Structure 1
Amino acid sequence: MKISTNIDQNIKTFQEQLHCDKNFDIVYRTIKIMDKTACFFFVDGFAKDEIMTKMMDAFFKIQDQKLLTDAYTFSKSCISYGEIGLEDDLDKLFVALLSGQIVMMLDGFDRAVLIDARTYPQRTTSEPEKDKVFRGSHDGFVETLVLNAALIRRRIRSPELCMQHLSIGTISHTDVSICYMNNKVSQTLLNQIVQKLKSADVESLTMNQESLVEVLLKRKWYNPFPKVKFTERPDTTAAQILEGDIAILVDNSPSAIILPSTIFHLMEEANDYYFPPLTGAYLRLSRFAVLFVAIFLTPVWILLTQYPDIVPEWLKFILITEDISVPLLLQLLMLEVAIDGLQLASLNTPNMLATPLSIIAAIIVGDYAVQSGWFSPQALLYQAFVTLANFSQPGFELGYALKFFRILLLIVTGAFGIWGFVAGVLFLLIVLVCNKTVTGKCYLYPLVPFNWQILKRHLFRMNIKNHTTKKRR
């Protein structure tokens, strides 16, 4: 549906469609520019008052009637603000208006002028709580798409950096930006992603980035392993883009989606590159070692307690010598759930109460749980280590995926002994090998299929020059 050349008809249409009598924040104002009537529609809180004041001052000073012949001449000659456009489709005008742009209509014009003088309420670009670094930049993404794009532009000053804009959702019209290096990205993958996003038949991105990931990846619900990497750091995002990856920014989300990603990409962290190669390699290898121990510590302990005869003498201290009221397997399963319960409780605890409540919880839950006979000290110790080890991983998604398999491994080991343990390990390996990335490669690439040149760059922190001049895949 097109706009009318009659300004009164346009005002009436906008008032009816936007329910101006019910929405207090939809503001419109009518002014006279020489002998023509002009009307502004905008959302209160999105428009910049200073820019609007300066533009209106300029409009009142117009003396040449020739400048008001058509929308194109008027926009080029009378509007000094740079970000403007012309549109005659009413649906697109409504979306632009509700996105924060100013819609200006003049009597007799067959197109409206869109003035992008919007500003969004936002917090500061402080360092994210999860992706902290010892050294390096301490800024992070916020919930405003334009500012997040600027943080990346600040780091990549190349004309090859492209940020393609899309609008997703028939109702929400959420702004999405696909960021990539035009001379490095896989054009096949890029076209595939763009096509999936353009054809997404969704009303809104209710869960923001997770909804977008589910649009891109039609994975089975029972596969917990993440296929994309989330990061709230602009420097990490810029580094991934420079390596040929694709970053997707979603408005109202303070993190970027990086793809394609294997399990090795999910294990990388910014701290690896803010230290010398030897220190960075040590941090990365330590992270892999801690991950391995976190998966197998409690299942191996359950297995050894079932076969005390095979435990060497120097390792006898891990065996349970006192009487226990609750089976060890049930203790560990209860602790797995209890730890998640405490984490959820901490999210809803006010900051001023977090520290004292943590101390109380440690004393009561730790001490009295052992004294009551519900839990053994060893079970609490090993589960505490596993819990802390999960926080050494950069992403929550991978940590929970491995947690689910650790619980499965605990159950089959406790039920079937060594054969259950072997079957559980084989099942985990089969799932990882059969899992595919967005590009169709194995989730364990470059381990499966084996490629030592790429694998060593994932395992060891290489020299920056060598790391950036060679593509990872």
Structure 2
Amino acid sequence: MFTENFDTNLKIIKKALRSEKSFDLIERNLILNEHRAVFFFVDGFLKDDIAEKILEFFYKNLKDENFKSAEYFSQSSVPYVEVETSSDIKKICTGILSGISALLVEGFSKVILLDTRTYPQRETGEPDNDKVLRGSHDGFVETLVLNTALIRRRIRDTDLTVKAYQIGTQSQTDIAVMYIDTKVDQKFLKTLEKRLSEINVPSLTMNQQSLIETLYKHRWYNPFPKVKHTERPDTAASSVLKGNIVILVDNSPSALILPTSIFDVLEEADDYYFSPVVGTYLRLSRYFITLLSVFITPLWLLALQNPDSCPQIFRFVLLSEPQNIPIFWQLILMEVGIDGLRLAALNTPNSLTTPLSIIGAIALSEFAVNSGWVSMEAILYMALVTVANYTQPNYELGYSLKFCRILLLTLTYIFNIWGFIAAFIINLLFLALNRTLSGKSYLYPLIPFNGKALLHRLFRIRQ
């Protein structure tokens, strides 16, 4: 408990903060009008120019009557906007470690906290994963306050609410929950707030993914994404205006949108930056290509296993020459090989990306065919699948569709037509039995059926 004894208060803070153990925890000793003071801050989080002006004001303008109490001092003598006083040692230490400056003054029983922090950051350029042909080209960065400001810039409504939480007993990671109070599902909001308050983990080790796993612990075996990630402030703002909740996590350049259905995941900003006709075409094309990416290789394998049942118009897909390796294993090898190339591209220096692409293309095409590992037809269909996966930017959905495709291939190879039917039903059950974080159907408005809402999902209706 703080008292008016300066030395005692200083010992309490230094013991709790362990400032002597870390070189970047700075203690700036001051003399303010014959009163001892200590300025605590983290080197690298302090706005040097602002702190310099505040200290300059202290040295030139302070008088004895300003030192009545910490509250009076902060109101009469601190030329800054974001100022508060506190005697809670945990709050003080957490604030200092978050970048807030703390001023301990002789004779005060409270510490003055000044939010003079700044964080290292990159420019708010267009994100690589959520590019658009039209519209704004700014994106989220790793700083929480800037990300909330990017959304507030687009929604100037007093009903927009931003609640702050700190998750992790050790990391104390800052997160922000944003929603429109008059549009949000209040029942889901209360459930979410309860779950957030009950999270008891040392830290969010993997940032947003750790938060998702603590919020949604059940049905981990279902591969379909429970939330939508976006790096675009306009997409996040649009979702908030529709009644969804957006969660921002400090140190993460993307937002979590929930609750999320399969139709939400498949939406893109480009759908709304073009006219309704063009937007509808882009959306329906994406739906069709997404389905194509799941079924094209299993249907081809099914046709090869049942050549007599293949319609005459599609007989050109049949192979006329025997294969050294069964088509099923060719497709599985290429599924793994394409993922290997993708991982290699992520870990390859930029100067070597082009040579790697050339080597990968040659290895998976001409050399692979000539050596008898794969057929040209298998390469063609896997190339179509790979390109189709990039028509939607959600990586989680892309891998979910991959698992569905592999299940279709495996059961079709083992059980033929009945295996294809069984895998189709299993995949359908994965979708139908999946639930959003709010507990609603993942396929809404298809299940339960809502014609008007489904029409808005399939077609880009004029705003």
**Which TM-score bucket, shorter chain as reference?**
over 0.9
The within-5 A match list for 1:353-368 is: 353-368=352-367
Rounded to whole Å, the distance in 1 between the matches of 2:292 and 2:81 is 57
Q: Is the Cα contact below 8 Å between 1:47 and 1:117 reproduced in 2?
A: yes
3-state SS, counterpart of residue 104 of structure 1: strand
> Hey, what's the Cα distance between the residues in 2 that align with 1:215 and 1:433?
23
Residue identity in the other structure for 1:209: Q
Larger displacement relative to structure 2 (417-426 or 11-20): 11-20
Query: Counterpart in 2 of 1:442?
Result: 441
Residue pair 1:308, 1:319 contacting (<8 A) in 2 also: yes
Quote the residue 1:83 is aligned against.
82
SS in 2 for 1:224: coil
CA distance in 1, matches of 2:257, 2:458: 20
Question: Paired residue for 1:44?
Answer: 43
Q: Residue 128 of structure 1 aligns to which amino acid in structure 2?
A: P
Aligned twin of 1:142: 141
Distance 2:321 2:146 in 1: 60
Contact 2:84 2:113 in 1 (8 A): yes
Aligned amino acid, residue 155 of structure 1 = R
Match of 2:125 in 1: 126
Q: CA offset at residue 57 of structure 1? A: 1.3
Q: Aligned partners of 2:23 and 2:62: how far apart in 1?
A: 35
Code of the residue aligned with 1:458 in structure 2: it is R
Matched residues in 2 for 1:433 and 1:222: separation?
A: 14
> Match for residue 427 of structure 1?
426
- 1:112 is aligned to 111
Shift of 1:443: 0.9
User: TM-score of the superposition, structure 1-length normalised?
Assistant: 0.96
2:153 paired residue number: 154
Deviation (angstroms), 1:183: 1.2
- The two structures have a TM-score, normalised by structure 2, of 0.98
Q: Give 1:267's aligned residue.
A: 266
Distance 1:370 1:84, change over 3 A: same
Distance in 2, matches of 1:149 and 1:130, equals 20
Aligned 8 A contact 1:229 1:261 in 2: yes
Match of 2:98 in 1: 99
The unaligned stretches of length 5 or more in structure 1 are 465-473
**2:345 maps to which residue?**
346
SS of residue paired to 1:126: coil
Partners of 1:33 and 1:62 within 8 A in 2:
no
Residue aligned with 1:121, SS: coil
CA apart distance, 1:61: 2.2
Q: Which moved more, 1:440-449 or 1:11-20?
A: 11-20
Q: Which moved more, 1:400-409 or 1:274-283?
A: 400-409
Give 1:9 deviation, angstroms: 2.7
CA contact (8 A) 2:229 2:256 kept: yes
Q: What CA distance in whole angstroms lies between the structure 1 residues aligned with 2:65 and 2:17?
A: 33
Say whether the 8 Å CA contact 1:169–1:202 is kept in structure 2: yes
Q: Give the equivalent residue in structure 1 for 2:11.
A: 12
The question of whether the paired residues in 1 share the 8 Å contact of 2:140 and 2:253 is answered with: yes
Are 1:281 and 1:459, in contact at CA under 8 Å, matched by a contact in 2?
yes
Number of residue-to-residue matches in the alignment: 463
Whichever residue aligns with residue 159 of structure 2, its letter is: E
**Aligned equivalent of 1:250:** 249
Cα distance in 1 for partners of 2:191, 2:429 equals: 27
Alpha-carbon distance between aligned partners in 2 of 1:33 and 1:120, rounded to the nearest angstrom: 28
Say if 2:218 is the partner of 1:219.
Answer: yes
Match of 2:59 in 1: 60
Distance of aligned partners of 1:372 and 1:63 in 2 relative to their CA distance in 1, 3 Å threshold: closer
- Aligned-partner SS, 2:411: helix
Q: Matches of 1:136 and 1:63 in 2, distance apart?
A: 51
Deviation readout 1:386-426 (Å, 9 max, x if unpaired): 11111112311111111111101100000000011011111
- Aligned 8 A contact 2:207 2:252 in 1: yes
User: Using the alignment, how far apart are the partners of 1:13 and 1:236 within structure 2?
Assistant: 46
Residues 73-106 of structure 1: CA deviation (Å, up to 9, x unaligned): 0000000100011110111111000000001011
Q: Give, in whole Å, the separation in 1 of the partners of 2:277 and 2:251.
A: 38
Equivalent residues of 1:266, 1:394 under 8 A apart: no
1:469 aligned residue:
none
Aligned residue for 1:164? 163
Tell me if structure 2 keeps the 8 A contact 1:302–1:329: yes
- Alignment-mate amino acid for residue 96 of structure 1: G
CA-atom RMSD, angstroms?
1.1
The alpha-carbon distance between structure 1 residues 340 and 63, as it changes in their structure 2 partners (threshold 3 A), is: closer
- What amino acid does structure 2 have at the position aligned with 1:297? I
Q: Which amino acid aligns with 2:115?
A: D
Q: CA deviation at 1:63?
A: 4.6
**Partner AA of 2:128 in structure 1:** E
Letter matched to residue 311 of structure 2: P
1:219 & 1:351 partners in 2: Cα distance? Answer: 40
Aligned to 2:282: 283
Q: Provide the residue aligned with 1:186 in structure 2.
A: 185
In 1, Cα distance between equivalents of 2:239 and 2:325: 48
- Counterpart of 2:369? 370
Q: In structure 2, what is the equivalent of residue 231 of structure 1?
A: 230
Deviation at residue 275 of structure 1 after TM alignment: 0.4
Partner Cα distance (2:347, 2:27) in 1:
41
Shift of residue 297 of structure 1?
Answer: 0.5
Shift of 1:7: 2.1
Does the residue aligned with 1:21 lie in a helix, a strand or coil?
Answer: helix
| 3-state SS of paired residue (1:13) | helix
2 CA distance for matches of 1:168 and 1:314? 59
Task: Tell me if structure 2 keeps the 8 A contact 1:34–1:62.
Answer: no
- After TM superposition, the structure 1 stretch with the greater mean CA deviation from structure 2, 385-394 or 416-425, is 385-394
Structure 1: distance between partners of 2:299 and 2:256: 35
Distance in 2, matches of 1:454 and 1:203, equals 42
Q: Distance in 2 between matches of 1:292 and 1:57?
A: 66
Q: Give the C-alpha shift of residue 20 in structure 1.
A: 3.0
Distance 2:63 2:392 in 1: 66
Aligned AA for 1:304? Answer: A
Aligned residue for 2:381? 382
Show the counterpart of 1:31.
30
Tell me the secondary structure at the aligned position of residue 19 of structure 2.
coil
Structure 1 residues 63 and 311: CA distance shift in structure 2, 3 A = closer
Structure 2 match to 1:398: 397
